[in-house]
């Protein structure tokens, strides 16, 4: 059951421009969302999270937007840098289930061209 | 604390052999999760522990898989009679969950299993 979906397997942007990565979910019980970044042969690294009581959270160059009615979240990276090139995963969990598991999307591979 | 550590980083084994992976979580975390990741996919939940109690297991975790977390510290994931389909990256993560709130999952570097 693919409850979290990332429909774009890859994205290529120019250095300095905005990168927008998208994620959709199907379970309306999800109330905690996260973005992770993963380099090859390493574990995922936490980037930013958002609770369902908010619709935006910002941390430096990274901003996550949450649209609960559309069950959609996005990660904006501005400005994009070559070091941002990695695979990005969105994840979701629920307080209702006491955060017993986190569901991950299949990832979007971001390539930032110098 | 240096974060979540996993050992070994790589394991190559022959079909039918048993393998064991170890995870040392961040010491103050009370939750420990095991995930599996295959090429082109996101991490898939296998099981999690709250302190030493294993509270949930995915149906992905067949009878050949067993996980333990003695004394609520490190955890081991054992795969018996490995099959080629077990080849994957096995990820361990830890977090702190209390009072209806949680922090993010902190992942280890992963243990890559190759079954020949």
**Which residue among B40, B93, B95 sits closest to A106, beta carbon to beta carbon?**
B40
What percent of chain B has pLDDT above 70? 99
Q: Round to whole Å and give the CA distance between A56 and A49.
A: 10
The C-alpha atoms of residue B9 and residue A51 are separated, in whole angstroms, by: 33
Q: Average pLDDT, stretch B92-115?
A: 89
Q: Does residue A74 carry a pLDDT above 60?
A: yes
Helix (H) or strand (E) holding B81: none
pLDDT for res A62: 98
pLDDT band for position B38 (cuts 50, 70, 90): very high
Averaged pLDDT of chain B: 92
Rounded to a whole number of angstroms, the distance from the CA of A18 to the nearest CA of chain B is 24
- Of A40-44, A51-55, A60-64, B101-105, minimum mean pLDDT range: B101-105
Strand partners, B46: none
For residue A4, name the pLDDT band (cuts at 50, 70, 90): very high
- Establish whether the linkage from the previous residue to B8 is cis, with ω within 30° of 0: yes
| CA gap B92, B74 in Å, rounded | 10
Q: Which H helix or E strand runs over A71?
A: none
Mean pLDDT across A82-97: 94
Rounded Cα distance, A83 and A66, in Å: 25
Pairwise CB contact (< 8 Å): B104 & A46: yes
- Asked if residue A54 has pLDDT above 90, the reply is yes
Other Cβ atoms less than 10 A from the Cβ of A34: the count is 22
- Mean pLDDT calculated for residue range B86-105: 88
Considering only the beta carbons, identify the residue of A42, A44, A46 that sits closest to B43. Answer: A44
User: What is the reported pLDDT for B1?
Assistant: 54
* pLDDT(B33) > 60: yes
Q: Can you tell me whether residue B26 is helix, strand or coil?
A: coil
- When pLDDT is averaged across residues B7-13 and rounded to a whole number, the result is 97
Put simply, whether B96 touches A (Cβ < 8 Å) is no
Question: Average of pLDDT values for A25-31?
Answer: 95
pLDDT tens digits, one per residue of B50-84? 999 989 899 888 899 999 998 888 999 999 999 99
Residue A22, strand partner residues:
A74
Using pLDDT thresholds of 50, 70 and 90, give the confidence band for residue A99: confident
Q: How far apart are CA B67 and CA B47, in angstroms?
A: 8
**What does the alpha-carbon distance between residue A57 and residue A50 come to, in Å, rounded to a whole number?**
6
pLDDT at A11: 97
Q: Is the pLDDT of residue B2 over 80?
A: no
């Amino acid at each position: 059951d693919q409850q979290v979906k990332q429909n774009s397997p890859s994205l290529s942007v120019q250095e300095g421009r905005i990168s927008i990565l998208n994620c959709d979910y199907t379970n309306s019980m999800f109330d905690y969302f996260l973005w992770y970044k993963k380099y090859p042969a390493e574990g995922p690294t936490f980037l930013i999270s958002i609770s369902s009581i908010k619709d935006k959270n910002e941390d430096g160059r990274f901003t996550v937007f949450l649209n609960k009615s559309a069950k959609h979240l996005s990660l904006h990276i501005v400005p994009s840098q070559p070091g941002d090139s990695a695979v990005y995963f969105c994840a979701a969990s629920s307080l209702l289930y006491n955060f017993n598991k986190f569901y991950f999307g299949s990832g979007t591979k971001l390539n930032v061209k110098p | 604390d240096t974060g979540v550590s996993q050992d070994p980083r790589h394991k190559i084994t022959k079909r039918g052999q048993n393998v064991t992976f170890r995870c040392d979580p961040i010491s103050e975390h009370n939750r420990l999760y095991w995930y599996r990741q295959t090429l082109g996919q996101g991490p898939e939940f296998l099981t999690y522990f709250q302190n030493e109690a294993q509270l949930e297991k995915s149906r992905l975790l067949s009878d050949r898989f067993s996980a333990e977390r003695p004394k609520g510290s490190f955890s081991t994931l054992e795969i018996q009679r490995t099959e080629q389909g077990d080849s994957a990256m096995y990820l361990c993560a830890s977090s702190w969950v209390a009072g209806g709130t949680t922090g993010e999952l902190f992942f280890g570097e992963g243990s890559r299993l190759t079954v020949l």
